[in-house]
Structure 1
Amino acid sequence: MLDNRGVWVYVEQNEGVIEGVSLELLGAGRKLADKLEVPLAGILLGDNVRELAEEIIFYGADEVYVVESPVLKQYRTESYMKGVILLAEKYKPEIFLYGATPNGKDVASAVATDLSTGLTADTTMLDVEVEKRLLEASRPAFGGNIMATILCKKHRPQMATVRPKVMKALERDTARTGRVIEESLEIREEDMRTKVLEIVKDVTKKSLADAHIIVCGGKGMGDERNFGLIHELAGLLGAGVGGTRDVVEAGWLSHDHQIGQTGETVTPKIYFAIGISGAIQHLVGMKNSEIIIAINKDPNAPIFGVSTYGIVGDALEVLPILIKQFKEAFHEKGGEVTHA
């Protein structure tokens, strides 16, 4: 068991396009592999996807294991699990990372069960204890009040799903070279227990993760009526509207607007944190934003520890002034901004 070597990243692709979280994980995996002095490998499954192997190498991988089959054209738990297990049992990695996407979490849990190993879900920080070769996977616990570091001492591979937007991809390096290993999956369509009848894309829903500006409010806004100020500011700026878990649980916003460990992870250019104290559960979902502007009446609120600019004051007093100033500025320029 402890002879396992190598860091692996499950590279998720959708219709021939690599998911951003997979590129982020290649960056994180590169650091772990360098510390352990082992190769970094990308694991690629699909139908006619081999041409993506070069791109995976450009983003940090030394090796790419490719499994191609018509039964892998669309994601299904059974076929993808069998493809990953085929590779894991043959080549025996010591660390295996997956994006915490719906498909990534699904296949990771199935693989962990089959290989009788542990899986840390929704990880936000990764490191490795080199001497013992232990993956240190950290995530908020107990409602976001503490950070827990989880170890898998007795089983291999050590596995974790990692939230999108918390790691950073390496710069694409077209000078990098690597090795591509191809394996065959001996499974036919008629052997599959599930069939994909139709794929319906949701074209109406825009993810907060794509917004350039986000205005996020917390329980410091007092009530749902006051939360209307958040919507007003967001409307002026062409921004997305976000909320903390407390706001969503109070029914002021739907869950798809929740930012934090149990909601979206975002990295906008500008993030307004208004009436938000800054619990760990929320910070992990927005701390990598380029500019963070915090408004809170408590000068010791944790949110100020990650903010670029801070205003100590009652949000219900500060926001109307801020909205008025934006309106005047846009009126002078003859329009509004609409980046999000």
Structure 2
Amino acid sequence: MTEAVKKPKKPRGKAAVLEGRCIACGARCQSACPVDAIQMNEAGEPVIDASKCIGCVKCVKVCPAQAIEMAFTPEEKRILDELAAAAAGAPPEEELDPEEAALREKLAAYRGVWVFIEQTEGEAAKVSWELLGKGKELAAARNCPLSAVVMGDQVEHLCRQAMGYGAETVYLMDAPVLRHYRTEAYQKSLCALVEKYKPEVILMGATGLGRDLAGVVATVLATGLTADCTGLSIDKGNLMQTRPAFGGNIMATIVCDKFRPQMSTVRPHVMPMPEFDASLKGEIVREPVPVAEDEVQVKVLDILMDKGGSKVDIAGAEFIISGGRGMMAKENFGLLEELAEVLGGVVGASRSAVDAGWMPQDRQVGQTGKTVRPKVYIACGISGAIQHLVGMQDSDVVIAINRDPEAPIFEVASYGIVGDLFQVIPSLTAKLKALKGARSGA
């Protein structure tokens, strides 16, 4: 009688902080830890008590900057290597559970990362290029190709641009029926491409067009869709999709592990813009459009450009001075306007200021407003709720002015000023004017 060999248990490891990666996002890892093994230091970075850590990986999954990893002892690494070697000589497919075998076979048919290139009148939305940069990272992690999808009328020039941003293959559908975006025409065209080539990941911008198209395509393909993602990564072959949940109070990581393709939308300016390289080459695959004009119920009669609002796009500004509830009244935003004029920037606002009617909605920064990545972001009288932080935490320099030294905004600030903003801002404006005048005179 042969004695069964007991399979070693897979080590869980301990969470460890990677030096220099933390972005002080507001203690998301600490909130996710179920055993209180993480405390935050004065810089807003995690300090992990290894004796308490149970290796649940929750802090790793919730971190938007991949600043935490699982660390293993030499013995644990040896066991992991043995398990990996055993997996390489995996049991035959027939020994697997029939349902598990069928699922693996279904998922194996999908391969590749796709980015949908959104365009209007032949001009691409910048979020599409941002997503190609992130898509390149995901494709490298999956060891699969990165592709772009271009749809429209006379838009082949966008294929060359997509290659310059990293696309190895560009699927092109070019026909008059796709000149203007209409849900039915674009949905049928994109679904036809997906069913033919079977990508495992599809990324789209969380714009009005992207949200509309992604929702209907995911419904038709009977797969999952995660909207407004702030972080994307690969773990065990699955796309880890991180987004704010419960009103932005927590960060949730969502996995679509049994359906393909895995679909995500990402708001503009959340991902960094990649460098354009004109020397990069790729393949253009021209595909026929599977829908005729007379099959589309909706007709575009005219296009009216929106001229309303404040006519200021804060998402593209390099200097943003934002005000919150601490501004006290609408007329006090004049202080910020004066400072913005000196800096050559624009004025933004938190949700509380917009809800109070002090600033128009198109100036709102945050989860329900716009995501910004300016060179300098000055937060005036803003407490720093997570809903606001997700919209501005990737700014190059954050300067916070608040009378409350315990305000959460200081956890992500590069520089903090604890004081009365009605004294600080005029003084700052006067000093900058003086310096500007002296420089002009020189």
Please confirm whether the aligned pair reaches a TM-score higher than 0.5, indicating the same fold: yes
- Higher RCO, 1 vs 2 (CA within 8 Å, ≥6 residues apart): 1
Q: CA deviation at 1:228?
A: 3.6
Q: CA deviation at 1:209?
A: 1.5
SS in 2 for 1:285: helix
Does the 8 Å CA contact 1:59/1:169 hold for their aligned counterparts? no
Does the 8 Å CA contact 1:279/1:302 hold for their aligned counterparts? yes
Cα distance in 2 for partners of 1:288, 1:55 equals: 26
Trace 1:123-162 onto structure 2 (pairs within 5 A): 123-129=229-235, 131=236, 133-162=237-266
Cα distance in 2 for partners of 1:208, 1:170 equals: 21
Counterpart of 2:410, as a letter, is F
Counterpart of 1:299, as a letter, is P
Q: CA deviation at 1:331?
A: 4.7
SS in 1 for 2:227: strand
Deviation digits for residues 99-156 of structure 1, max 9, x if unmatched? 0111111111110111111111111111111x2x111111112222211111112211
Does the 8 Å CA contact 1:236/1:327 hold for their aligned counterparts? yes
Deviation digits for residues 218-247 of structure 1, max 9, x if unmatched? 112233344442233224434211111111
Name the counterpart of 1:2: 107
- Return the match for 2:152 from 46, 60, 66: 46
Name the counterpart of 1:305: 411
The unaligned stretches of length 5 or more in structure 2 are 1-105
Cα distance in 2 for partners of 1:247, 1:221 equals: 8
- Return the match for 1:250 from 348, 356, 363: 356
Trace 1:150-299 onto structure 2 (pairs within 5 A): 150-202=254-306, 205-299=311-405
Between the aligned residues of both structures, percent identity stands at: 51
Name the counterpart of 1:338: none
Aligned length: 333
The reply on whether 1:106 has 2:212 as its aligned counterpart is: yes
Q: CA deviation at 1:213?
A: 1.6
SS in 1 for 2:278: coil
Trace 1:30-109 onto structure 2 (pairs within 5 A): 30-109=136-215
Cα distance in 1 for partners of 2:177, 2:203 equals: 23
Cα distance in 2 for partners of 1:99, 1:114 equals: 19
Does the 8 Å CA contact 2:322/2:350 hold for their aligned counterparts? yes
Counterpart of 2:175, as a letter, is S
Cα distance in 2 for partners of 1:231, 1:173 equals: 38
The reply on whether 1:324 has 2:438 as its aligned counterpart is: no
SS in 2 for 1:109: helix
SS in 1 for 2:172: strand
Runs of 4+ off more than 6 Å: none
The unaligned stretches of length 5 or more in structure 1 are 336-340
Q: CA deviation at 1:288?
A: 2.1
Counterpart of 2:107, as a letter, is L
Moved more, 63-72 or 308-317: 308-317
Counterpart of 2:411, as a letter, is G
SS in 1 for 2:107: coil
Q: Taking structure 1 as reference, are residues 26 and 329 closer, same or farther at Cα in structure 2, changes over 3 Å only?
A: same
Cα distance in 1 for partners of 2:160, 2:145 equals: 16
Does the 8 Å CA contact 2:180/2:300 hold for their aligned counterparts? yes
Name the counterpart of 2:22: none
Normalising by structure 2, what TM-score?
A: 0.72
Does the 8 Å CA contact 1:211/1:268 hold for their aligned counterparts? yes
Cα distance in 1 for partners of 2:274, 2:332 equals: 42
Moved more, 97-106 or 275-284: 275-284
Cα distance in 1 for partners of 2:155, 2:437 equals: 51
Cα distance in 1 for partners of 2:421, 2:394 equals: 23
- Return the match for 2:124 from 18, 23, 30: 18
Deviation digits for residues 294-321 of structure 1, max 9, x if unmatched? 1122334332233222212222332232
Counterpart of 1:71, as a letter, is V
Counterpart of 2:135, as a letter, is G
Cα distance in 2 for partners of 1:105, 1:180 equals: 26
Q: CA deviation at 1:217?
A: 0.8
Deviation digits for residues 34-78 of structure 1, max 9, x if unmatched? 001111110111112223212211111111111111100111111
Counterpart of 1:288, as a letter, is D
Counterpart of 1:20, as a letter, is K
Q: CA deviation at 1:22?
A: 0.4
SS in 2 for 1:2: helix
Structure of higher CA gyration radius? 2
Does the 8 Å CA contact 2:192/2:290 hold for their aligned counterparts? no
